[in-house]
Structure 1
Amino acid sequence: MLRQFLWIPGLVLVVAVLADMLVTCIQSGEGRLSRAIHRPLYWIVTTASRISGRRTWLSWSTPTLIVGTLIAWTLLVWFGWTLIFWSQPGALLGAESGQAATFPATFYFVGYTLSTLGLGEIIAPETFWRIMTDIASINGFFLLSFAITFIVPIAQARSDRRELALHLHRAGPDAQNLILRAHTDHDRGLLSLTTDLHLILNRIDAAHLNSPYLHRFHDHDRQDALDLTLPALGEALLIIQGALDSDRPPGLQRALASVDSLTRTFERVHHQPLPPTPPPPDLDILRDAGLAVRSADEYREFLHTHDALRRRLAAMAHAGSWRWDQVARVESRHSARI
């Protein structure tokens, strides 16, 4: 008796997946269904990394989330259409036997309909169910199209992330070295950390606003890890703004705004309490290199106004299983606590 109402949950599944694909692939954000898929998969990867003590597991977050999302979308649509066709006895018949299709046969029919194979082993005798077969086939085409729409921007965003991470790694890799090498080895000086990075920072920021789940992707190698190099850049920009006793380079506020925006997107995605504020960076390294540096007390007072940003930077580094002393060298009296 209840079988005739199975089309209702089936339709709900099909519509829910379609809505999720629209939100995730076309609108800015992350669909509720995708979020429900990503969170447990990400938890499995991060738990495996934490228990094993190996960052290698984190690098599997990207293929795990991508493949998991595509499989979940496919299975839910597949099962939803199966319920729709199964809800009406006789909606599908065997082409040779003329017998009503069993549930496994209905599942098989929906599978090759969504894949647009059209094998013809099972047929829909009535016009209504033939039209529903056409709609299911079109749904399968949409599923494939959205899968491509989902993957291609991720590949582009990861390429941009790696480009920035590799640039900062070679220029640093930690906050103090970013400043020292920009000051001494780069023909544009500190502008190489502000104005020169505007375009790629904006691209990466826009990509993460459009696809916030990118913050769940991690890389194995240090030189590719945005969750390490971006905190280092953020800490370097704060040192330039609050510690260096010199004119601020043009573009500093815009670069900091991009870093701040990326950390806010990260916080919205991860929904976890922020770690304590990291210890102050060691300014003696810059002072010994001949840079004009304000007093440590002045800088600590400045840092208090940026506690939230620095805690988000620390959370980002922690999510990638990096230590804060890999982001910035800290004052010697704090180093033993890290």
Structure 2
Amino acid sequence: MRPMRQLLWVPGTVMVLAVLVDLLVTCIQSGEGRLSRAVHRQLYAALRLAARVFRRRGLLAWSTPVLIMGTLTVWTGLLWLGWTLIFWSQPGALVGAENGQPATFLASFYFVGYTLSTLGLGEIIATKPLWRILTDIASISGFFLLTFAITFIVPVAQARADRRELALWLHRAGPGAQALIINAHTDHDQGLRSLTTSLHSVLNRIDAAHLNTPYLHRFHDHDQQDALDLHLPALGEALLILEGALRGDCPQGLRRALASVTSVARTFHLTHGGALPPVPPPPDLTPLRGAGFDLKSDAEFHLFLANHTQLRRRLYAMTHMGLWSWEEVAGTHGESS
């Protein structure tokens, strides 16, 4: 039994290193380490299953607190357990400060807990210099965890504010791709440019946020007006209509806006993976013709859309992931409950 116990430092060290590496990768390098990605995928899959079974899209709105708390819990739990196994692997490494008796497993677990939290209660102490040094390292790793947990949470709040800003703007300007175009043309002082140049700043912020923290693609909102996974596809479809169906020059800034939408759609697919859905049907441009727009023929427009099937499939996948319908994106469906 004792030889087995003395080897517990090996899995303990693996757990500690796994957490520390995942913290660095998630908060500094790519936005999502392997460990946090595994946690996010499992929790997100469970939420989506519950939303489908109970037919309640609102359950997806819990994705933000569930994924954040789940990640923090796994990081803390593995770091705590890992250090506990390291200290427990050597009998007598920790003793009671008053009675000098070797610490039990639960006492070692308690010692690691207040060491990671930097409380330093002193009820249990390390007996030899090596274990005292490891106690200091454990305390530093706890501070490391706390610091990077804040780094993990704070950008989420800012990114969600930007997402809501764009979603609200598009919701009030729409709803739906063709309504965005018609309302911009008739109601906005900048006309169609309101869908391009006016949105550059917030689109760039959202694009950068999703490149830095791709797990943002797993966050959803309860209300339709806040749903970026509904309104960004509508904006993308509207921009494709303006570029491919409208006669004459494109509105200034259209290609820059479309590039931002394309980039967000690409990071969405990289985050979720899997096969893309089929290409959504081409939009019926009757409302635009009825509003007086000078449009190309359907054949010319469909030929243009054929060169953008990958983008439209990704936008369709984004819509589907949020449990919205493509009819809501196209603007041919009433508001969802």
Same topology, TM > 0.5: yes
The alpha-carbon deviation at position 242 of structure 1 amounts to 0.5
Q: SS of the residue aligned with 1:187? A: coil
Q: Is the 8 A contact 2:232 2:261 kept in 1?
A: yes
Q: Give 2:104's aligned residue.
A: 102
Q: Give 1:222's aligned residue.
A: 224
Aligned with residue 154 of structure 1, among 153, 156, 163: 156
Aligned with residue 90 of structure 2, among 88, 91, 94: 88
The alpha-carbon deviation at position 92 of structure 1 amounts to 0.2
Q: Is the 8 A contact 1:161 1:204 kept in 2?
A: yes
Q: Give 2:142's aligned residue.
A: 140
Aligned with residue 308 of structure 2, among 296, 306, 311: 306
Q: Give 1:166's aligned residue.
A: 168
The alpha-carbon deviation at position 329 of structure 1 amounts to 3.7
Write out the 4+ residue segments of structure 1 that deviate beyond 6 Å after TM superposition: none
The runs of 5 or more residues in structure 1 that have no matched partner are: 333-338
Q: State yes or no: 1:266 paired with 2:268.
A: yes
Q: State the alpha-carbon separation in 2 of the partners of residues 39 and 205 from structure 1.
A: 21
- Counting only pairs closer than 5 Å after superposition, residues 202-217 of structure 1 correspond to structure 2 as 202-217=204-219
Q: Is the 8 A contact 2:179 2:331 kept in 1?
A: no
Q: State the alpha-carbon separation in 2 of the partners of residues 329 and 86 from structure 1.
A: 62
CA-to-partner distance for each residue in 1:97-122, whole Å, 9 max, x for gaps? 21100111101110011111111111
Task: Output the amino acid matched with 2:236.
Answer: G
CA-to-partner distance for each residue in 1:274-319, whole Å, 9 max, x for gaps? 1111111121100101111111121111111111110100000000
Task: Output the amino acid matched with 1:213.
Answer: Y
Task: Output the amino acid matched with 1:175.
Answer: A
Aligned with residue 30 of structure 2, among 28, 33, 40: 28
CA-to-partner distance for each residue in 1:42-82, whole Å, 9 max, x for gaps? 00000000111110110011110000000000000000000
Q: Give 2:129's aligned residue.
A: 127
Q: SS of the residue aligned with 2:229? A: helix
- Counting only pairs closer than 5 Å after superposition, residues 37-116 of structure 1 correspond to structure 2 as 37-116=39-118
Classify 1:279/1:329 alpha carbon distance in 2 versus 1 (closer, same or farther; 3 Å): farther
Task: Output the amino acid matched with 1:97.
Answer: N
Q: Is the 8 A contact 1:281 1:329 kept in 2?
A: no
The alpha-carbon deviation at position 173 of structure 1 amounts to 1.6
Task: Output the amino acid matched with 2:327.
Answer: D
Percentage of identical aligned residues: 70
Q: State the alpha-carbon separation in 1 of the partners of residues 280 and 132 from structure 2.
A: 63
Give aligned pairs, total.
Answer: 331
Q: State the alpha-carbon separation in 2 of the partners of residues 254 and 21 from structure 1.
A: 34
CA-to-partner distance for each residue in 1:20-44, whole Å, 9 max, x for gaps? 0001011133100111111110000
Instruction: Give the CA RMSD over aligned residues.
Output: 1.1
Aligned with residue 19 of structure 1, among 21, 31, 37: 21
Q: Is the 8 A contact 1:176 1:285 kept in 2?
A: yes
The alpha-carbon deviation at position 246 of structure 1 amounts to 2.4
Q: SS of the residue aligned with 1:123? A: strand
Q: Is the 8 A contact 2:72 2:149 kept in 1?
A: yes
Q: Give 1:277's aligned residue.
A: 279
Scaled by the length of structure 1, what TM-score is found? Answer: 0.96
Q: Give 1:182's aligned residue.
A: 184
Q: Give 1:296's aligned residue.
A: 298
Q: Give 2:247's aligned residue.
A: 245
The alpha-carbon deviation at position 197 of structure 1 amounts to 0.8
Deviates more, 1:114-123 or 1:233-242: 114-123
Q: State the alpha-carbon separation in 2 of the partners of residues 122 and 183 from structure 1.
A: 72
Q: State the alpha-carbon separation in 2 of the partners of residues 322 and 31 from structure 1.
A: 29
The runs of 5 or more residues in structure 2 that have no matched partner are: none
Task: Output the amino acid matched with 1:2.
Answer: M
The alpha-carbon deviation at position 267 of structure 1 amounts to 0.5
Q: Is the 8 A contact 1:66 1:151 kept in 2?
A: yes
Deviates more, 1:5-14 or 1:154-163: 5-14
Q: Is the 8 A contact 1:282 1:329 kept in 2?
A: no
Deviates more, 1:214-223 or 1:272-281: 272-281
Q: Is the 8 A contact 2:199 2:257 kept in 1?
A: yes
CA-to-partner distance for each residue in 1:180-223, whole Å, 9 max, x for gaps? 01111111111111111111111111110111110000001011
Q: State the alpha-carbon separation in 2 of the partners of residues 285 and 220 from structure 1.
A: 29
Q: Give 2:233's aligned residue.
A: 231
Q: State the alpha-carbon separation in 2 of the partners of residues 30 and 124 from structure 1.
A: 35
